[in-house]
Homo-oligomer: A and B are copies of this chain.
Amino acid sequence: MKKYLVASILFLATSFSAFAQQNLWKAQDIESAVVNLDHSVTFRFQAPDAKKVQIAGDFAKIKEDNPVGGLVGTGLIDMKKENDSIWVYTSEPLTSELYSYMFVVDGTVTVDPNHPYIFRDFGTVSNYFMVPDGLADLFMVQKVAHGTLQSPWYHSEKGKKNRRLNVYLPAGYEKNVNKKYPVLYLLHGAGGDEDEWVNYGRTCQILDNLIAQGKAEPMIVVMPNGHIDFEAAPGESSMGLYKPFHPAMMNGEFEQAFPEIMKFVESTYRVQADKAHRAIAGLSMGGFHSFHISRLYENTFDYVGLFSAAVGMTKPEGVYANQDATLKKQIANGVKLYWVGCGTEDFLYKNNADMRAMFDRMGLKYTYRESGDGHVWKNWRLYLSEFAPLLFK
| A interface with B by C-beta (< 8 Å) | 1-2, 4-6, 8-10, 12-13, 15-27, 31-33, 47, 49-50, 56, 58, 66, 68-74, 100, 102, 104-111, 113-118, 120-126, 128-130, 140-143, 145-146, 148-153, 161-162, 164, 171, 174, 189-192, 200, 231-232, 234-238, 240-241, 243-244, 246, 248-251, 268, 284-285, 310, 313-315, 317-318, 347, 375-377
Contact = CB atoms under 8 A, between A and B. Distances in A.
A230 to B, nearest CB: 12
B116 A25 contact: no
A40 to B, nearest CB: 16
A328 B178 CA distance: 45
B250 A9 contact: yes
Q: Could you tell me the dominant secondary structure of chain A's interface residues?
A: loop
Contacts of A108: 47, 50, 105-106, 108, 110
Contact of A148 (B19, B152, B236): B152
A22 B241 contact: no
B248 A2 contact: yes
Contacts of A111: 110-111, 125
Nearest to A231: B141
Contacts of A106: 49-50, 105-106, 108
Given A145-B162, A190-B9, A121 B174 contact: no
19 contacts: A5-B314, A6-B246, A9-B250, A13-B190, A13-B249, A16-B284, A18-B376, A19-B124, A20-B71, A22-B123, A24-B109, A25-B124, A109-B110, A109-B113, A111-B111, A113-B124, A118-B120, A141-B232, A149-B151
B9 A249 contact: yes
